[in-house]
Structure 1
Amino acid sequence: MIPHTTLSLSAGWEFSHDGDDAEWLPVSTVPSDVHSELVRHGKIPEPYADLNELAVRWVAEKTWRYRTTFATPPEVNNSRSSGTRGLRADLVFKGLDTFATVLLNGNTILKSTNMFVEHRISVAPLLSASDNSLEIVFEPARRRGLELVNEHPEHDFIVHQTEVSRGPVRKAQCHWGWDWGPILLTCGPWKPVLLETYLSRIDDIKMSYDLYLPVGTETATARITVSARLFGPVTRVEAELRPRGTTTRDADADDCLVLKFDWPEVSSDTWAKHDPSPSTMLTARGLINDPKLWWPRGHGPQNLYELRLRSYARDSSVLLAEECQVVGFRTVELVQEKDNDGQSFYFRVNNTDVFCGGSCWIPADSFLANIPPQRYRKWMGSMAEGNQTIVRVWGGGIYEADAFYEACDEFGIMVWQDFAFACASYPTYPRYIQSVETEARQNVRRLRNHASLVIWCGNNEDYQLIETYGLEYDFNDKDPQSWLKSTFPARYIYEHLLPTVIEEESPGSIYHPGSPWGNGTSTTRKVDPTVGDVHQWNMWHGDAKPYQNLPDMGGRFVSEFGMEAYPHLDTISRFVTDPNQRYPGSMTMDFHNKAVGYERRLLTYVAENFRLRTGADDLASFTHLTQVMQADAVSWAYKSWRRHWGVPGKRKCGGVLVWQLNDCWPTISWAIVDYFLVKKPAFYAIKRALEPVTIGVTRKFHGWTTRPADGLWRRDTGHVNPLEAFTDISFDVWVASSLRQTELGQVVVRFVSVTTGRDVKESLREEVEVRPNSCTDVLVDSKFSGSGKEPERSQGSQTRHFDPFIIHASLYIGGKHIASDTSWPDPIKYLDFSDRNIRVQRIEADVVSVSAEKPVKGFVFSEKQGVELSDNGFDLIPGEPPTKVQVQGADPDSLTWNYISQ
């Protein structure tokens, strides 16, 4: 009997393009893309450097060909000579980008038009007795997209960010460029190409379960249903479920399960006559007592199980096929209940409310074949290090590689998965709908068993086009066929097709029609803070409000918001190779910031808050200011919106996702970690805000550059009074905890002069009961009084003298310092940071301590690829213990740093 064998066709390929000047060049390996191969052969410059993106645009205009040869597996020839029936040989294309025609020995066996679809082609009759030729022809995606637009004049192809040709093409939408990414319309076999031979094959594995988990306990019972599709004349199939890493000998009997499947017998004759191969869907059921649960990071362990299926030959113990999937047990629900603030939106996992602090994710590289599994693991490890619990896979990218979700399972990172639609009005002609359905079913089947995947979402920001362009949307119309005739026919995809696929392929999974989405009642409003999720872009985009207003700009779940910043200088030097171009506003620097109008926005936010410096160190200074500004902005958001997590039954905000975690190329963007996995200070600000127990302090904000929030001019000056931040002082202090138990602690609030470093009044001390999984207010609208508050007016002069101070709050539990936070008088540019007397000392082989005699704002070590710091981008407060930073990948004595007004 012949077992299921898989041969990876990864080597021996060559590629070329159509045209008189074409030459065939070796391919490094498959998966592959043409741009990367051309770079390796020196045919094009590195697209990520300088202005080279422009120099490689021609690549997307060509038709490209990949070809290889492979030998016919001996078992195929043996079966032919022996007359053995039933042996199959399939070519499997895991992913072809995008318009691809496949030829085997000169015969066309496949035409693919969807990057996200896997293809399996039965080829045994077409294989020669010896070697076989395999060729894949890739047509230009942009050209084919424009042709499809012209073929469908019945649809108004509205797309944002890019040109219209992407609308009808099922390809990563960001390949057309975005406001953070380049235009690199590459092509190629972006996923593996395999040759499989088998008598039996196992496919479409699904494990569903009913988890009985009484409230107040973690002891559960799971009724399990395992189903799979079987190909071939087998008579015995077993499923084995056991904790990951255990064996038959050391596993607890109650924790393991062996299931046997029974099904109608398929004879060898029937099997041999069918083409395509006949298949049978099998189902088995069982019970597990007290399964170990999978928890989001910070709430419990990430227990995982291996589900292993095996098929055996007729009347034999010969193993024909085996498949294994990693699964986990957890309950998850999206809690949407009416309350005084509208309707809640938060996740409850294993009967525990979970505040979702995390990030949005874009593809980690514009050239997808260049992302190895270990790089995904590094990214998810960074999220875990940063105390983040959820990642949103954005709809303009891809359904990520298996390694991405496997890492999320292991690190306890929940996944919000968008379907691959973003910022467009998509068509619904029959071929397109059919392709989308195949894409959706395949990817739901591939991902549904991951414990980390908690929600599917129909699209990114497509519903916002309804308001912008006046498209038709009648919420009370529940007839999907009528939606196809409207000016927004994609509603059929998001509210009928995709939820149907979810219900059929992964019943019980959570589905959300779009992001943002207000549960139908507010689909034509861009931001509704009372219901559903919101994208809060009135900071940066829209009204470009001061980031100090963010506490009042939240929603029930903020699934996007962000602030730009430069990456570290080492990263900039890697994509700006000409030293003469390394200054803010140079042609190359501007080219690597794709956000339209970013110059005004970025410079405005920096200039509103910080002193601008000029001179030879322009780039270093401006880079540092953008980074501190970004860190300040996200800190305001995370700590304030986490405060809105509130208490059980009063969850005003269920989660915060920054746009964005990562970059797809070396650039200037909203990312908190750059393309080379180098962290910006904002990463550490979020890490501190999402600690299991943390403290927050903010003072009343007074605008100094715009009309006050109350809309009234001040009588004494006729304009905004810049002294109010120093004279009208009230502040809040609160504690946030994700722990399951109550803790007793003490909060100490200090008032420290920025000028002298001395306390301007006696500290406040408050005993606090830190409530579990809640936010506990300690001081609300507390008024400051004491020396340093009142400014002095000189005799016969309007000049005011004041002593600005910070408010520093610390939390102690059991006498141990747990967390601290600092509120500065805004804007920072009004403060004098001279004579700080900063001390950076190496206290261990890989540890440095940092302290100062006077308050320091935005102390930042310069980072680069390969250097790992335990903390960065922090403030220094005199009288507090020095900040200790562990350093990996560099000599601590070699570190350089910057701080505000250095």
Structure 2
Amino acid sequence: MAQRTVQILSSGWEFKSDADEKWLPVSRVPSNVHIELMHHGLIPDPFKDTNELEVRWIGERTWRYRTAFTTPPTHGATVDLVFEGLDTFATVALNGRVILRSDNMFVEHRVDVSDVLAAGDGAENNNTLEITFEPARQRGLELVQAHPEHDFIVHQTEVSRGPVRKAQYHWGWDWGPILLTCGPWKPVRLETYLSRFEDVRVDYEVRAIQEGKGTATVEAIVHAHVSSPAAAELEVELVLEGERVVTLRDRRGQGDVTGDDTDSSWRYASSRFRIEKAELWWPRGYGSQTLYDLKLRVIAADGTTVLAEEHRRMGFRKTELIQEKDEFGQSFYFRINGVDVFAGGSCWVPADSFLTNISPQRYRDWIRLAAEGNQSMIRVWGGGIYEPDVFYAACDELGLLVWQDFMFACASYPTYPEFLESVSREARQAIRRLRHHPSVVLWCGNNEDYQLVERYNLEYRFETDKDPDSWLKSTFPARYIYEHLLPSLVRAECPSLSSSSSSSSSSIPYHPSSPWGNGTSTTLKVDPSVGDVHQWDLWNGEAKPWQLLPRMGGRFVSEFGMVGYPHADTIRRFVTDPAERYPGSRTMDFHNKAVAHERRLLTYVGENFRIEWAAAAGEGGGGFAHLTQVVQADSVAAAYRSWRRDWGKGPGERRCGGVLVWQLNDCWPVVSWAVVDYYLVPKPAFYAIKRALAPLAVGVARKFHDWTARPADALWRRNTGHVDPRPMLTDVRLDVWVSSSKLDEAVRASVVVRFVSVLSGQEVRERIEKEVQVAPNGCTDVLVGYKFDWGVAAEPEHFVIHAALWVDGVQVSSDTSWPDPIKYLDFPDRGVIVKYSRPGLVEVSAQRPVKGFIFSEKPGVKLSDNGFDLVPGDEPRRVEVQGGNGEELSWTFVGR
């Protein structure tokens, strides 16, 4: 027989609920019950209209899956049933005998069934496999009752999710539906083998990095746990682009039983090897994404027979999280291969409520889209899942850094022994699976769990109580998970080479929570001087004007965002009744889960734009939908531009180390914070981020005069509306700067600043032209606090400030600052010209300044740019169109 055979049990399954008598065929495994019920036409699509409410009953039932298979030839080999993921409370029986009880969706189970398989010929050789899934909500409530020693506190959803190791967003979130599904959500396979790899770990150090050349000296050691009764050698081969770099055979370590291994397990450790001039893996924009092929084989005593093989793709890089005292407090930024990296990107939630819907290609499309948007980091949020290998492989290949949360979010989690044991197994498996990906540069304990400490005054004495056992007895026992259990596992499972024996440090940094301020701020009250922050005084909290964002940053902003509508085509997909496609309809409100979204969206639109513009008719929300898109784009653009400016000129000046918008994507069609909708259609905010994170990006901002309130002072004890609007015209001060992620050397460039009348399109005063040396990997100020002077004879009028960056005669970036609020401005005919110069290329220009020009996008048509402002005298906006010629796209702008 072959040394190893694998049979994927993907077909021949049936399913039913305990309330039904008839078994129905399963379309495929991996599977979940909602998909199968839709496949048989038994339920409506939960993503459309208000159908989510019609399928809530599914989560209250027990569901069963079953299949049959024949016993494979064994010849003395071991036969395992491997369940890569069961969602969630599952009892597995083989031939009527219970072989597994699982209560953790994130854990893979391997069960030796050699003695349970049917023996014989013909029908006697058939086996029946049945999996029973109990309702997660019901079991969660039972666990809450069973553990009165814990005060379960759960935000966003109900308490039943707290003790359940299941994707937390299945309970619903402020952007997602309540769809408590179940099923074998990952592959089930039958594996027959004589030998197999149980674990592979590569510890390495990157030394002597050659400045600007991307090469270094790498020293590494390979550890492999192998289950084999007849193994003699471990062969290690490292290959780069088809050329062998290292080949080693090692006999040492044979019979070294470790951990939970059985007597038939050996630990092999290859000799430490050294690679001179190794090609390094770099984040996108900083160098190449070099990946090596690591091939391992277990060789029998005859020296030629291969007993087991393993293959990994990995890259070598050095990761540091720099937290140093400076004049602003304590820094928080990433240094990769000795180079400081501004981490501009976004937060990631699961791409579907039904995870089995997400194909490998869809994962690649998502990551490619982020990369094309000039993003360099993606944060895998703790209320979802540890994503599949294809997700991280795509990040490796495209150079996106991954901030990886452990799967805890917005709750005070329990710590009874069974829960801790399950979490330990979950975390260990996740670390072992993901640690070889060079893109993974941070492990983070949870999402926002420490905010409950402040909100509910839970016991937390960071400075004085350093005893982990005492934390288990406090009102915040989950501290034990985040500050003891998880960091211990990270150190043990991915140590640095110099500490691989003692596990005293990790090759991948660990951060206890997001947000986290090193125990001093955890943070309902945002502390901009230390750690990472979630800036939710935009939209949530005080719902401050977005124009204040430049003052609302921190050392690393790992969440912030603004809600915006998707395009009309997306709305048509989930609102099937045309009469319901208006803002505030029952269906539209149902597809916006954000608390108080009606008030907040109306506030942000009403503060900035005329109500008559919002009332403009049209499918998918018409003018109102368009204006929410403009507000969202303006908000995120202001944040990325200004907080990237806080990157400073170099070490010691890194006031902000990164910005991650909440959020990149959606799990269903919805009105949310996402900058790309469920169907992979970007909103204008996506392009605003793309422009702000360009390798060279110019920024312009004027002094903000709040027109809605007077700040409280000693005389006025409350905010009032006694505001003088005249400084909008008479007190104009501006800053202009250029941000660069280029590393080699300063870039010689020209910055042109023009002042253009909103009404006429003419320049209201002479332009400013400056030659600048743009510093590498930093920000270069061009104008700071420049006061605009109207002169004696000029009559003040509203104007836009347009800044353009030119390099070698080519305009590489531009930015526009408008007077606030825009609702005070008049927009007579703008003289917009949309020219289709050739198929697939659209040029857009205007005779007078235009705010928020947006093409209405749809799936299958890809644009290079969208959601921009137009200023006469500037270069025409050239938009490349893939999947169409552009003429079929409708468009609009503010005040049209």
Normalising by structure 1, what TM-score?
0.94
1:265 to partner: Cα distance: 4.8
Partner of 1:503: 491
1:708 to partner: Cα distance: 4.3
- Give the Cα–Cα distance (whole angstroms) in 1 for the partners of residues 715 and 697 of structure 2: 36
- Give the Cα–Cα distance (whole angstroms) in 2 for the partners of residues 834 and 506 of structure 1: 62
1:713 to partner: Cα distance: 7.4
1:278 to partner: Cα distance: 2.4
Q: What letter matches 2:846 in structure 1?
A: A
Partner of 1:538: 537
- Structure 2 CA distance for partners of 1:361 and 1:524, relative to 1, 3 Å: closer
* Matched residue count: 867
- Structure 2 CA distance for partners of 1:46 and 1:277, relative to 1, 3 Å: farther
- Give the Cα–Cα distance (whole angstroms) in 2 for the partners of residues 708 and 487 of structure 1: 39
8 Å CA contact 2:70–2:127 kept in 1: the answer is yes
Secondary structure (helix, strand or coil) at the match of 1:583 reads coil
Within-5 A mapping of 1:631-650: 631-649=633-651, 650=653
- Structure 2 CA distance for partners of 1:871 and 1:436, relative to 1, 3 Å: same
- Give the Cα–Cα distance (whole angstroms) in 1 for the partners of residues 548 and 844 of structure 2: 31
Within-5 A mapping of 1:69-108: 69-73=68-72, 75-76=73-74, 79=75, 85=76, 87-108=77-98
Secondary structure (helix, strand or coil) at the match of 2:697 reads strand
Partner of 1:625: 627
* Structure 1 unmatched runs, 5+: 80-84, 792-801
RMSD of equivalent CA atoms: 1.8
Partner of 1:809: 803
- Structure 2 CA distance for partners of 1:886 and 1:712, relative to 1, 3 Å: farther
- Give the Cα–Cα distance (whole angstroms) in 2 for the partners of residues 883 and 603 of structure 1: 31
1:838 to partner: Cα distance: 0.8
8 Å CA contact 1:297–1:412 kept in 2: the answer is yes
- Give the Cα–Cα distance (whole angstroms) in 2 for the partners of residues 576 and 889 of structure 1: 25
Partner of 2:786: 782
1:711 to partner: Cα distance: 8.3
Secondary structure (helix, strand or coil) at the match of 2:458 reads coil
Partner of 2:122: none
1:832 to partner: Cα distance: 1.5
Partner of 1:464: 451
8 Å CA contact 2:515–2:534 kept in 1: the answer is yes
Partner of 1:872: 866
8 Å CA contact 1:858–1:873 kept in 2: the answer is yes
1:238 aligned residue (218, 222, 235): 235
8 Å CA contact 1:235–1:314 kept in 2: the answer is yes
Which deviations, in whole Å up to 9, do the C-alpha atoms of 1:844-864 show, x marking residues without a partner? 221010011000000000001
Which deviations, in whole Å up to 9, do the C-alpha atoms of 1:334-388 show, x marking residues without a partner? 0011011100000000111000000000000000111111111000000100000
Q: What letter matches 2:87 in structure 1?
A: D
The reply to whether residue 9 of structure 1 matches residue 9 of structure 2 is: yes
8 Å CA contact 1:461–1:515 kept in 2: the answer is yes
- Give the Cα–Cα distance (whole angstroms) in 2 for the partners of residues 359 and 863 of structure 1: 21
Which deviations, in whole Å up to 9, do the C-alpha atoms of 1:277-322 show, x marking residues without a partner? 7211211121111111111011111111111111223325122221
- Structure 2 CA distance for partners of 1:221 and 1:488, relative to 1, 3 Å: same
2:428 aligned residue (430, 434, 441): 441
1:870 to partner: Cα distance: 0.3
Q: What letter matches 2:831 in structure 1?
A: N
Worse-superposed segment, 586-595 or 316-325: 316-325
1:709 to partner: Cα distance: 8.3
Partner of 1:522: 521
Partner of 1:225: 221
1:523 to partner: Cα distance: 3.0
Partner of 2:180: 185
Partner of 2:155: 160
Which deviations, in whole Å up to 9, do the C-alpha atoms of 1:698-744 show, x marking residues without a partner? 00000111224878879xx9811223222210000000001012111
- Give the Cα–Cα distance (whole angstroms) in 2 for the partners of residues 227 and 307 of structure 1: 12
1:812 to partner: Cα distance: 1.1
- Structure 2 CA distance for partners of 1:91 and 1:603, relative to 1, 3 Å: same
Worse-superposed segment, 359-368 or 306-315: 306-315
8 Å CA contact 1:213–1:350 kept in 2: the answer is no
Partner of 2:396: 409
Q: What letter matches 1:482 in structure 2?
A: S
- Give the Cα–Cα distance (whole angstroms) in 1 for the partners of residues 94 and 486 of structure 2: 34
8 Å CA contact 2:210–2:216 kept in 1: the answer is no
8 Å CA contact 2:84–2:108 kept in 1: the answer is yes
Q: What letter matches 1:163 in structure 2?
A: E
Normalising by structure 2, what TM-score?
0.95
8 Å CA contact 2:172–2:179 kept in 1: the answer is yes
- Give the Cα–Cα distance (whole angstroms) in 1 for the partners of residues 579 and 626 of structure 2: 19
Which deviations, in whole Å up to 9, do the C-alpha atoms of 1:133-182 show, x marking residues without a partner? 10000000000000000000010000000000000000001100000000
Partner of 2:289: 302
Within-5 A mapping of 1:67-216: 67-73=66-72, 75-76=73-74, 79=75, 85=76, 87-129=77-119, 130-214=125-209, 216=211
Which deviations, in whole Å up to 9, do the C-alpha atoms of 1:826-854 show, x marking residues without a partner? 11111112211111111122101001100
Within-5 A mapping of 1:477-876: 477-507=465-495, 508=506, 509-523=508-522, 525-613=524-612, 614=615, 616-617=617-618, 619-649=621-651, 650-708=653-711, 719-740=722-743, 741-786=745-790, 802-876=796-870
Q: What letter matches 2:472 in structure 1?
A: L
- Structure 2 CA distance for partners of 1:9 and 1:143, relative to 1, 3 Å: same
Secondary structure (helix, strand or coil) at the match of 2:145 reads helix
8 Å CA contact 2:226–2:267 kept in 1: the answer is yes
8 Å CA contact 1:760–1:788 kept in 2: the answer is no
1:786 to partner: Cα distance: 2.6
- Give the Cα–Cα distance (whole angstroms) in 1 for the partners of residues 792 and 273 of structure 2: 71
Secondary structure (helix, strand or coil) at the match of 2:281 reads coil
Q: What letter matches 1:239 in structure 2?
A: V
Partner of 1:281: 267
- Structure 2 CA distance for partners of 1:788 and 1:775, relative to 1, 3 Å: farther
- Structure 2 CA distance for partners of 1:210 and 1:803, relative to 1, 3 Å: same
Secondary structure (helix, strand or coil) at the match of 1:892 reads coil
Worse-superposed segment, 780-789 or 205-214: 780-789
Which deviations, in whole Å up to 9, do the C-alpha atoms of 1:627-651 show, x marking residues without a partner? 0110000011000000000011210
Partner of 1:798: none
Secondary structure (helix, strand or coil) at the match of 2:115 reads helix
- Give the Cα–Cα distance (whole angstroms) in 2 for the partners of residues 882 and 275 of structure 1: 66
1:607 to partner: Cα distance: 0.7
1:106 to partner: Cα distance: 0.6
Secondary structure (helix, strand or coil) at the match of 2:278 reads coil
- Give the Cα–Cα distance (whole angstroms) in 2 for the partners of residues 277 and 393 of structure 1: 38
* Structure 2 unmatched runs, 5+: 120-124, 496-505
- Give the Cα–Cα distance (whole angstroms) in 1 for the partners of residues 574 and 139 of structure 2: 32
Secondary structure (helix, strand or coil) at the match of 1:220 reads strand
1:526 to partner: Cα distance: 3.5
1:597 to partner: Cα distance: 0.5
8 Å CA contact 2:343–2:657 kept in 1: the answer is yes
- Give the Cα–Cα distance (whole angstroms) in 2 for the partners of residues 316 and 133 of structure 1: 40
- Structure 2 CA distance for partners of 1:774 and 1:501, relative to 1, 3 Å: same
Secondary structure (helix, strand or coil) at the match of 1:56 reads helix
- Structure 2 CA distance for partners of 1:549 and 1:327, relative to 1, 3 Å: same
1:606 to partner: Cα distance: 0.6
- Give the Cα–Cα distance (whole angstroms) in 2 for the partners of residues 382 and 159 of structure 1: 34
1:788 to partner: Cα distance: 10
8 Å CA contact 1:713–1:719 kept in 2: the answer is no
Worse-superposed segment, 283-292 or 373-382: 283-292
Partner of 2:499: none
- Structure 2 CA distance for partners of 1:718 and 1:211, relative to 1, 3 Å: closer
The reply to whether residue 886 of structure 1 matches residue 888 of structure 2 is: no
8 Å CA contact 1:466–1:524 kept in 2: the answer is no
Partner of 2:312: 325
1:655 to partner: Cα distance: 0.3
1:407 to partner: Cα distance: 0.4
8 Å CA contact 2:754–2:802 kept in 1: the answer is yes
Partner of 2:503: none
